[in-house]
Amino acid sequence: MTQPLQETQVAASALGITLQLLEVEGANPDLDGAFGRATSGRADALIVLPGPVLERHMKRVVDLAAMTRLPAMYPTKEFVEAGGLMSYGPDFVDLFRRAATYVDKILKGTKPADLPVEQPTRFELVINLGAAKSLGLTIPASLLARADEVIE
């Protein structure tokens, strides 16, 4: 079980929310079947956890969420730029900038083993108002004010 999944399960349990796990794997994942199970299971929303399979099929995931009218939270802003509702995840531009300082230190002679492992420190919230409107959702002004980017 991945760390994001474990953390999501802990948070859901603390909030009294029941999770319905819909795993998809492989080069040709059964996305239609997964979304079918979500709707037949009466899912109220969707949380897409980070991973290469869903990122590779990003547009299809976003389209299926819209077709099934499931409000969805995604791991990266690229999903939102593709039409998804919202994302919350690491700011990759910041991560790449910080990685460049590691490269600089290594090129100047620091042993990689002597460098500390760091976690992301900057996260970004991106909201797509067009997707919200198509789902019939009103995003509270307080949430919009906290967003790093709002897509009209």
Q: Residues of the chain with pLDDT > 70: what percent?
A: 99
- Say if strands 86-90 and 123-128 run parallel, antiparallel, or are unpaired: antiparallel
- Please determine, for residue 138, whether its predicted confidence score (pLDDT) is greater than 90: yes
- Please determine, for residue 76, whether its predicted confidence score (pLDDT) is greater than 70: yes
Give every CB contact of residue 136 below 8 A, 6+ residues apart in sequence: none
- Can you name the CATH fold of 3-90+123-151? Rossmann fold (3.40.50)
The structural domains of the chain, with segments of one domain joined by +, span 3-90+123-151
In degrees rounded to 5, what are phi and psi of residue 31? -70, -40
Give the pLDDT score at 1: 60
Query: What distance lies between CA 136 and its chain's CA centroid?
Result: 21
- What is the pTM assigned to this prediction? 0.83
Beta bridge partners of 88: 125
